[in-house]
Amino acid sequence: MMNPITDQKPIMLRVIEKKIESPEFATLFFEYAIPFKPGQFVMVWIPGIDEKPYTISYHSKNQFAITIEAKGLFSKKAITLDKGDLVGIRGPFGNGFEIQSKKHVGVVAGGCGMAPLATLAEQLDKNTTFIHGARTKDYILYPDRFDIDRQFCTDDGSFGHKGFVTDILEKEIASGKLFDMIYACGPEIMMYTVFKICEKHQIPCQISLERYMRCGFGVCGACVCGKQIVCKDGPVFNSAVLRDMKDFNTKALLKSGKDVDLSLYFSWRCK
């Protein structure tokens, strides 16, 4: 008998489908009814390799998926997995986004930060303001996936506007658009800028943070950020919490527990 997915031991699932999203991203689908809220994540174990957190990027009654960007040792292995391969799943973990219904919201996605926002965007109204940026065209994740119109931008202008998502957000606000909530995920400097813009205009926001993780359920302390435990209290944090989070956009812990500047942390994470 198969165990139900719990947040306890990993349950082994076979990849049922692999989708190449772009030259930089692939999605692995699993058949399993996992309880879920947009923004939550699972710990993905490749036996003999490692175990890492991945957001759930597609979700339906009987299936879910994770989307991988090949950038580190683990993800370069994960992206080679294919139909029939076995991986261990623990979770879901974390809090997920609080969804504000029947209000005008904005979604701001940068790079692979699109993944946790994808299942959220599927639940939002068509009139949502959806801003999506990446380094280049190849890093635009799910270009054709949603009903909501998106404003695209890239750092090099290879797709959509040339520039940053935060420029577009400022323009939208300046043009008189009123937001009841902004959801954002992407590079931490981008999320910090979104947060600052939101603070300036008194718009509540929710952003999803990333830190190195071990347990996934708030005991080991590897992912602490200020007084918050990212895997358990987050990964989604709202404006009120962000205001007091002194390590936001400044510090993160390496695997050893050493606190370092974010730039050093992210260069280590991409190794």
Partner 1 sequence: MTIQFLGKTLKNPMVLASGILGNSKDILERVHEQGCGLVTMKSIGPEPRDGHKNPTVIDLGHGMINAVGLPSPGHLNMENEWKDLEKRDFPLIASVYGGSVSEYQRVAKFVSTKKPDFIEINISCPNSEKHGMIFGVNPQSSHEVVSAVKKVINVPLIVKLTPQALDIGQIAKICEDAGADAICAINTVGPGMVIDIESKRPVLAFKKGGLSGPMIKPVAVRCIFDIYKAVNIPIIGLGGVTTGEDAIELIMAGASLVGIGSAVRYRGIDVFGKVVKEMETWLKAHSLSIEEIKGAAHKEAL
Would you tell me which residues interact with partner 1 (CB under 8 A)?
6-10, 12, 43, 45, 47-48, 50-52, 86, 88, 90, 214-222, 224, 226-227, 229, 232, 246-247, 253-259
CB closer to partner 1, 64 vs 93: 93
Distance of alpha carbon 211 from alpha carbon 151, whole angstroms: 28
Residue (174 or 240) nearer to partner 1, CB: 240
Amino acid at 262: L
At closest approach, how far in Å is the CB of 261 from partner 1? 11
Nearest residue (CB) to partner 1, 9 versus 61: 9
Q: What are phi and psi for residue 247, nearest 5 degrees?
A: -90, -5
At which residue do the structure tokens 């909501």 appear? Answer: 148
Shortest distance, position 166 Cβ to partner 1, whole Å: 28
**For residues 267 and 15, what is the distance between their CA atoms, to the nearest angstrom?**
30
End-to-end CA distance of the chain: 39
2 vs 174 by CB, closer to partner 1: 2
> Minimal distance in Å, beta carbon 189 to partner 1?
21
DSSP state of 13: E
Could you tell me the smallest distance in angstroms from the CB atom of residue 59 to partner 1? 23
- Cα–Cα distances (Å) from 127 to 102, 106, 123, in that order, read 10, 9, 12
Burial of 254 (0-12, 13-18, 19+ CB in 10 A): middle
Q: Which is nearer to partner 1, 157 or 221 (CB)?
A: 221
Residue 117 or 252 with smaller CB distance to partner 1: 252
Least distance in Å: CB of 259 to partner 1? 6
CB of 260 to partner 1, least distance (A): 9
Task: Write the CB contacts of 228 (distance below 8 Å, at least 6 apart in sequence).
Answer: 234, 237, 241, 245
Separation of CA 168 from chain center: 20
Structure tokens at 146: 């949603």
Q: Which residue, 10 or 96, is less far from partner 1 as judged by CB?
A: 10
How near is the Cβ of 116 to partner 1 at its closest, in Å?
20
Cis check for the bond before 204: say yes or no (omega within 30 of 0): no
What three-state secondary structure class fits 65? Answer: strand
